[in-house]
Each structure stands twice: as structure tokens, then as C-alpha cells.
């Protein structure tokens, strides 16, 4: 049954591949988006790679994933679109084209490879993010006893894919700089899985905290390399408030009320950890700016942009329980690792748009839209990202 369903998804993917969105360049606007990251940004790479290699399907390959926009699973860990989809729509397309065609503007790397359109389509952007990806290489993590069940495609490997696609486009380093200077590079989110895999494997928090400088350094190395290849504008998101995620709230569920923020119900100590990661990331980005003063390196405060949803959920239209997953297998926070969303034992809420969290670890499309708007129009980017050519959605 699983592979019958997968075959039908293949037809849907091929239908999407057959449609090309032409995006006219505009003065002062980005003409493409290049994405890296993990499940928070993967628009189909994990799914397409599994199809090619006949790998065992993951739970997010099945309904109700994708139900609220694409009407079928696409490999996104969401009921619909991700932050990268909305950023692409805001910057690169008219609202009519994006909404009526229902297409992601940043195509997954494996989709581009599958249809042999590397050169033409890379100029429209490419997304290298993969579900489960880590900032640190998997061999480094495996030496510490951590094995990634989802992928071995780390940030370093994603960067290698990117460089491999440059070779048919750039005859010289100058050519690459010209191509990348009009692109917005979305560096993440990435790094969260380096901590998540360890914490869910039972590592002590004090040990996991020591990963932060190494994770930040891996991100910095990739950013420096991208700038050397010609990237001039990079949006680097921080970590989410993981203390608000149903998966973490379930893992560390307890009766000590002092560990919870009374205004949100989130675990304070886990959010403090996210804040520590974000502080260290911002320090590193300041150092990179001093090394590359010509580059526009923008920090994306996803932590604060997301936390506002938990602090005032009804203000943003979220009438469900803020810290409860829409789709899951039961429990206090509707998260059960043995009955994850997409598996037969799980079920979804009637209206995902009323929930912040989709499956215990990822936001709903409705929340992703608010977060993307906050990054582009609010005070959640430093320095503030230019929105002179952004279409209003």
C-alpha cells in the first residue's frame, strides 16, 4: 500500500516539474533564492531521494502532510508551505502567479537533477535542504555515538552539491559572482538537529550544550565559502524556541511548574538554550561581517518571530492549544514518537490553520506564513532585510 501511494505521488511530482515559472528580474530585487537547511526548509529533497533509491518511506511522505495547499504530500514536514516557500513568493513572484499555480518557487535540488535541467533552472534558484540534516558532518556525530536515521546529507554535503552545480554555469570566478550577487542565500534553519538527535538519544544537556560552538563554526565555514564564491546577501536564521515544541514538551514532561513559562506553557530552560545558540551565532556573524564588509549578512530572529505566536496566539488566529500538535498520536501535547503524524495511529485536527504546531516538531502553514511576514516586514532581521521589491501577500 505504501509503495502504491508513492507511485501516485510520483505522478504529482512529474506534473509539477512540467510547469515552469518565469520570473522577470527587477532592479534591486533578488532574481533567485538558494536554500540550505533541514526539515524546516526541505521542499522535497528527502522524498525525491528516497524515490530514486527505493528507500523505506518516512511518515511525512503520507497524508495528511501537504493537505492544506498541495493537497498531497510533497516531502515537506508541514500541512502546506514552509517559510522558504513564502519568502520565495514574497520576493520573486506576484501573488497571483504564486497562488494560482500553487508552485514552490525554489525547486528542490533532486527535482532539478531528475529532469536534467541543471543549468537553466539553477538560475531560478535551488533548494538543497534535507529533512534531518545537521550542520556537523555525520561522521563527526557518529564518533560521538549519534546516528541519523533520516539522512547523511549534512550542511557540508549540501554545499558540495551547490558547488557542483556552479561548474556548468561559471567559466570564471567573476561569472559566479555575477550570478550569485543577485541571489538571496537562505542559510537554514540548520543546526537544530545536531542538538535534537543528541537530546532524544538521552545525552545529558550539559554535554549537548558543548556542541554549540562547533555547530556555529560549521555554519560559519559554509557562510564564508559561499561569500568567497560570490554570494553577497545571506539570510541566516537562528534556532526556534524549542521549549515550545510538543515533541520536547512530551520528552521532558513533568510536574515542576517552575520549569515552565506561565505565559506560554513552554519549557524555559530549553528556550534559554535556543537563546544561547542564537547569541553565539550573532557573535559569529559579526565576525564574518568584519571579514567580508562587502557582503550583506542578515540575522533572522526566528526565535522571537515564533515566540510571539505562543505569547499571543489568538491575536494571530490560533484558537487551538498553542503547545499542542495538530497532527499526532495522543498524549498531553498530542505527540507520540510511536504514532507520529502520517502513521495509521495518528490523526489531524479539523482545521490546522487554528494551530501553531503541525506534528510536534514543525509549524503549520499558517504559522510559517506569519513567521515569514515577521522576518520580512517586522523587526526580526538584523540588519533589516530590504523589502523594496517584495510583493504583498
Which residues are the active-site residues?
39, 359, 362
- The residues near 348 (Cβ < 8 Å, ≥ 6 apart) are 64, 67, 79, 326, 327, 341
Three cell numbers, residue 261 = 513559562
| Alpha-carbon gap, residue 10 to 335, rounded angstroms | 29
Say if residues 45 and 109 touch (Cβ distance below 8 Å).
yes
As a whole number of angstroms, the distance between CA 381 and CA 236 comes to 9
381-382: strand order across its sheet: 125-127, 32-36, 183-187, 233-237, 296-300, 381-382
Question: What three-state secondary structure class fits 127?
Answer: strand
- Identify whether the C-beta of residue 144 lies closer than 8 Å to the C-beta of residue 197: no
| All three cell numbers of 290 | 568584519
354 touches 319 (CB < 8 A): yes
Amino acid at each position: 500500500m505504501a509503495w502504491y501511494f508513492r507511485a501516485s505521488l510520483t505522478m504529482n511530482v512529474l506534473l509539477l516539474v512540467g510547469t515552469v515559472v518565469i520570473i522577470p528580474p527587477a532592479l534591486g530585487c533578488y532574481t533567485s533564492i538558494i536554500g540550505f537547511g533541514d526539515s524546516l526548509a526541505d521542499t522535497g529533497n528527502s522524498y525525491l531521494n528516497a524515490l530514486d533509491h527505493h528507500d523505506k518511506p518516512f511518515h511525512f511522505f503520507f497524508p495528511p502532510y501537504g493537505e492544506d495547499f498541495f493537497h498531497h504530500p510533497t516531502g515537506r514536514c508541514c500541512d502546506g508551505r514552509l517559510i522558504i516557500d513564502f519568502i520565495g513568493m514574497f520576493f520573486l513572484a506576484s501573488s497571483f502567479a504564486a497562488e494560482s499555480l500553487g508552485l514552490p518557487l525554489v525547486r528542490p535540488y533532486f527535482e532539478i537533477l531528475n529532469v536534467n535541467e541543471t543549468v537553466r533552472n539553477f538560475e531560478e534558484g535551488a533548494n538543497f535542504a534535507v529533512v534531518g540534516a545537521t550542520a556537523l558532518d555525520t561522521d563527526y556525530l557518529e564518533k560521538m555515538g549519534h546516528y541519523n536515521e533520516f539522512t547523511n546529507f549534512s550542511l557540508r554535503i549540501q554545499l558540495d552539491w551547490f558547488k557542483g552545480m556552479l561548474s556548468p554555469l561559471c567559466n570564471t570566478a567573476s561569472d559566479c559572482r555575477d550570478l550569485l550577487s543577485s541571489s538571496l542565500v537562505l542559510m537554514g534553519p540548520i543546526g537544530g538537529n545536531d542538538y535534537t538527535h543528541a537530546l532524544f538519544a538521552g545525552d545529558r544537556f550539559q554535554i549537548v550544550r558543548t556542541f554549540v560552538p562547533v555547530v556555529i563554526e560549521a555554519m560559519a565555514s559554509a557562510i564564508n565559502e559561499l561569500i568567497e564564491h560570490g554570494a553577497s546577501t545571506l539570510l541566516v536564521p537562528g534556532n526556534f524556541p524549542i521549549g515550545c515544541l510538543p515533541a520536547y514538551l512530551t520528552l521532558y514532561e513533568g510536574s515542576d511548574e517552575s520549569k515552565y513559562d506561565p505565559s506560554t506553557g513552554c519549557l524555559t530552560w530549553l528556550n534559554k538554550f535556543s537563546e544561547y545558540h542564537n547569541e553565539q551565532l550573532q557573535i559569529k556573524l559579526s565576525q564574518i561581517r568584519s571579514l567580508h564588509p562587502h557582503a550583506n549578512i542578515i540575522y533572522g530572529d526566528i526565535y522571537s518571530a515564533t515566540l510571539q505566536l505562543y505569547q499571543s496566539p489568538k491575536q494571530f488566529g490560533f484558537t487551538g492549544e498553542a503547545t499542542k500538535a495538530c497532527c499526532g498520536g495522543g498524549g498531553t501535547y498530542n505527540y507520540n514518537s510511536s504514532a507520529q503524524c502520517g502513521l495509521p495511529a495518528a490523526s489531524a485536527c479539523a482545521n490546522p490553520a487554528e494551530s501553531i504546531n503541525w506534528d510536534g516538531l514543525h509549524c503549520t502553514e499558517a504559522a510559517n506564513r506569519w513567521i515569514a511576514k515577521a522576518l520580512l516586514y517586522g523587526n526580526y532581521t538584523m540588519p533589516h532585510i530590504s523589502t523594496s521589491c517584495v510583493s504583498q501577500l
